[in-house]
Amino acid sequence: MSSFYSEDILEHSKYPSNFGTLEHATCSHEEHNPLCGDRVRIDLMIEGDTVQDIRFSGKGCAISMASASMLTEAIKGQSVAAAHAFSKDDLLELIGIPLQHNPVRLKCALLSLKALKVGLYAAGSVGEE
């Protein structure tokens, strides 16, 4: 791996948090990046207005897997409205390396966020505060 990757990214890609699937998920969505072949599925268990549990599964580069791991840590236990409000900038801040000028790596980093947002909207979980 390149020195481009931070220790945190390497740690999350080797030992991801919340990796797996939820058997009785409230909503699930999978996204695929055809440019590199990365796949990320997000499963959520929503009770009331709270994301009680969140898991991800898939296969991809260190950045896409670490990003999904970090995203699930940030969203777990939050309100649905907070999940809807979680932004690209929020995720890039968690990742902690500059990706704004690298469109290929940026797409990898944001794949899990896209899966989360599309899954929430498709399930009709529109967050309101």
Report pLDDT for 56: 97
Report pLDDT for 3: 44
66: tokens are 């670490």
Q: How confident is the model at residue 36 (pLDDT cuts 50, 70, 90)?
A: confident
Q: Smallest Cα–Cα separation from 38: which of 90, 117, 113, 95?
A: 113
92: tokens are 């890039």
Check: CB of residue 108 under 8 Å from CB of residue 95.
no
Report pLDDT for 128: 44
Q: How confident is the model at residue 38 (pLDDT cuts 50, 70, 90)?
A: very high
Report pLDDT for 15: 84
pLDDT at 1 over 50: no
Report pLDDT for 5: 59
Query: Could you tell me the pTM of the whole model?
Result: 0.87
Does 58 or 13 have the greater pLDDT score?
58
pLDDT at 91 over 80: yes
As a residue count, the chain comes to 129
Mean pLDDT across the chain, nearest whole number?
A: 87
Architecture of domain 7-122: Alpha-Beta Complex (3.90)
pLDDT at 125 over 70: no
Check: CB of residue 114 under 8 Å from CB of residue 31.
yes
- Domain residue extents for the chain: 7-122
